Amino acid sequence: MRFLIAIFSTLILGLGLPAGVSAQEPEPEYGQPSEYSEPIDSYSEDEITDAVTDFFGVTAEAAASVLERVFSDLGRPVGYIAGEEVSGAVGIGLRYGEGYLTLRNGERHKVYWRGPSVGWDAGGNASRVFVLVYNLDNVDRLYQRYPGVEGTAYLVAGMGVNYQRADDVTLAPIRSGVGLRAGANVGYLAYSRRRAWLPF
């Protein structure tokens, strides 16, 4: 027994390890992202608040009051589309817009959108639009039709927000007051690389 203890002590001293510590013990994986971590290439709420403040020319408090709800529902976006649109309706409406998609990784792409709507509104308007983009891992997936998500239209601080979703990609368009028609109609928007006049 004394012989075994002597061998064991010699091994510990020879390895320079304190007694009770195994040489096979794995190191803890500090700093590893959990499955609930936000993607690295996404915008923070502060970054988007600054961008919306500059784009619409509103106060930071007004922008934050709108974005607080969106971030609570959807989290951090991977990009945004900043642009302008015109729309008009007499029962049946049309909407056309264009802007630039900016991704968190620095990519920029020109984007066009158009779509029909049916509702109880009439008249025409022009507005600026800031669209938050979620779950877009490939730019090609943006270019499709997006129906509105029922029950998500709301108005905060003079700006309207609604959600659109297709194939796990979610868009959250924010429109200034002159472009609000949320809740007055239903329809979809089709996003494309090139301008198209047919709304369907």
C-alpha–C-alpha distance, residues 88 and 125, integer Å: 6
pLDDT of residue 149: 72
Hey, where are the domains in the chain? Answer: 45-192
Whether the Cβ atoms of residue 76 and residue 42 lie closer than 8 Å to each other: yes
C-alpha–C-alpha distance, residues 103 and 112, integer Å: 16
CATH architecture of 45-192: Beta Barrel (2.40)
C-alpha–C-alpha distance, residues 73 and 154, integer Å: 13
C-alpha–C-alpha distance, residues 187 and 116, integer Å: 6
Tokens 């309706």 found at? 89
pLDDT of residue 94: 83
pLDDT of residue 152: 63
What type of residue sits at position 166? A
C-alpha–C-alpha distance, residues 66 and 80, integer Å: 15
- Express the helix, strand and coil content of the chain in percent, nearest 5 each: 25, 40, 35
Give pLDDT tens digits along the chain (200 positions). 544 444 444 443 444 444 444 445 444 443 444 444 444 589 999 999 999 999 999 999 999 998 999 999 999 999 999 999 987 766 677 889 999 999 998 899 999 999 886 655 556 677 899 999 999 999 999 999 998 775 566 677 778 888 999 999 999 999 886 555 544 455 789 999 998 877 66
pLDDT of residue 8: 40
pLDDT of residue 122: 56
